[in-house]
Amino acid sequence: MGFRDLVEGSRVVGNPVSVNFEMREESVSSGNEPLLFTDIIEAQGHNVAMNILTRHRLCEAFEVEPGELIDILSWAMENPAEPILVEQSASPVFENTMHETDLLSLPIPWHYQEDGGRYQSASIIIAQYGGLRNTSFHRQLVKSHDSTCVRLVPRHLRTMVNEAQENKDEVPIAVVNGPDPVVLLAAAMSFDEPLDELRVAAALHERLYGTQLELVELANGVVVPANVEYAMEARITTSSGEEGPYVDITGTVDEIRLEPVIEYDAIHHRNEAIFHALIPAGVEHMTLMGMPRAPTIKTAVSEVVTCTDVFLTDGGSGSLSSVVQIIPEEIGDGMKAIRAALDGHKSMKQVIVVDKDIDVTNSSRVEWALMTRWQPDRDTLILSNQKGSSLDPSRSPDGTTSKIGMDATIEPGIDRSPFESVL
């Protein structure tokens, strides 16, 4: 499967639209349905897709149930595989090459008036330095025809860049837009130790498609998935520039910071390329934030009780709140699940534990379970002085927060009939 396969079935918007605000406006007016824009005023010959990467569409495309997909993601983390290298002639991304780079001619959107400008939010960075390779999401503010400023949070790429800057080195990278969805999921994962995300993507590719992930090497030595829509050769330089403001996943406006400058050397793209334009705080942002973290939560909970599904909620910005579905067998299993879930994703602030008859993605049914199966004074866990998330503006100055867990499961061994709904 390629990115184009996931785009199939999207509503086609054929009227002219601008990269400045109009695509998000169309998305909002349509109820955020999957969209394919085919007439971009500032980027003729390019198309834009948005709202295509959702839990439901991914499961449908992969032909798996949501709980099964979480298990597959967890398995891939533990069983990375080797991709294979193919020749450039076998990769359609080289159908067009822009040697004099012009980022302004690409359909990079400006979604919110509050943003500092046009942002790449769905593009991933593949970096190779010091014998390591990292693949991850990092937003980029377009600064000129051949440069951006990238927000690097304290994760593995930031460590790599810090090391390079100490050595006065640039980091060769590829900026990739529109890869296979397994690559997007792998790039969104977070690991305690450096792990080659492309090897995780390769494991997913083999498990879900039965074939090896194909990579192709760019002129700067960095490899990219062979079937991507865009592959851009670039360098993270030793220079810095202003990045921000930016509407983040919580819908709040992130501040301006000094961040590394990326300089672009070449842009390759497919014929009639489809640019993935993720809307910050939108449905795809929630999916990429939440789904790759569900496996670590499910794994942690499964060590203490049978866990059947995990969902990082939209209201929790795909990160701060989750609903965990379990099969309780003993009194206290719900509380055990709460503690394990919070340990499985330490940035999380809230956990609600439900029985298997509650759809974790349906907020109304989750609230119903709380109102009919949960007693606040008996079934609530509150923890103070916990590690918090930088996404939470209410956290303490030292970065800590309090956390809450609610057990909305039916006590094992009692008559369930008074707690069951016929709706």
Q: Using one digit for the tens of pLDDT, what is the confidence trace for 41-52?
A: 999 999 999 999
Two structure tokens written together for 361: 């993605």
User: Which burial class, exposed, middle or buried, applies to 200 when counting CB atoms under 10 A from its CB (0-12, 13-18, 19+)?
Assistant: buried
Q: Using one digit for the tens of pLDDT, what is the confidence trace for 191-227?
A: 777 789 999 999 999 999 999 999 999 999 999 999 9
Class of domain 288-412: alpha beta
Higher pLDDT, 1 or 19: 19
Contacts of 405 (CB under 8 A, 6+ apart): 335, 338, 339, 341, 342, 350, 351, 352, 353, 380, 381, 382
**Residue of 187, 203, 53 whose CA lies nearest to 125:** 187
**Residue of 217, 196, 219, 63 whose CA lies nearest to 135:** 196
Q: Using one digit for the tens of pLDDT, what is the confidence trace for 279-329?
A: 998 989 988 888 888 999 999 999 999 999 999 998 998 889 999 999 999
Q: Mean per-residue pLDDT for 17-37?
A: 96
pLDDT at 390: 82
As a dihedral over the C-alpha atoms of residue 311, residue 317, residue 321, residue 324, rounded to 10 degrees, the angle is 0
pLDDT at 230: 98
What are the boundaries of each domain within the chain? Answer: 1-52, 83-271, 288-412
Q: Mean per-residue pLDDT for 336-344?
A: 96
Q: Which of 235-244, 286-295, 376-385, 405-414 has the lowest mean pLDDT?
A: 286-295
Beta strands in 38-123 (DSSP E): 47-50, 84-85, 96-98, 119-120
User: Which burial class, exposed, middle or buried, applies to 129 when counting CB atoms under 10 A from its CB (0-12, 13-18, 19+)?
Assistant: buried
Two structure tokens written together for 182: 């397994």
Burial 352-378 (b: 16+ CB within 10 A, else e): bbbbeebbbeeeebbebbbeebbeeee
Identified catalytic residue from 71, 102, 146, 248: 248
Two structure tokens written together for 328: 């309780």
Two structure tokens written together for 77: 């983390």
pTM: 0.90
What CATH superfamily classification does 83-271 receive? Electron Transport, Fmn-binding Protein; Chain A (2.30.110.10)
State the chain's mean pLDDT as an integer.
94
Q: Using one digit for the tens of pLDDT, what is the confidence trace for 125-163?
A: 999 999 999 999 999 999 999 999 999 988 899 999 999
Confidence of residue 362 (pLDDT cuts 50, 70, 90): very high
Q: Is 392 a catalytic residue?
A: no
Q: Using one digit for the tens of pLDDT, what is the confidence trace for 71-97?
A: 999 999 999 999 999 999 999 999 999
**DSSP 8-state secondary structure symbol assigned to residue 346:** T
Two structure tokens written together for 230: 């865009």
pLDDT at 292: 86
pLDDT at 67: 82
Is the pLDDT at 422 greater than 90? The verdict is no
3-class DSSP state of 303: coil
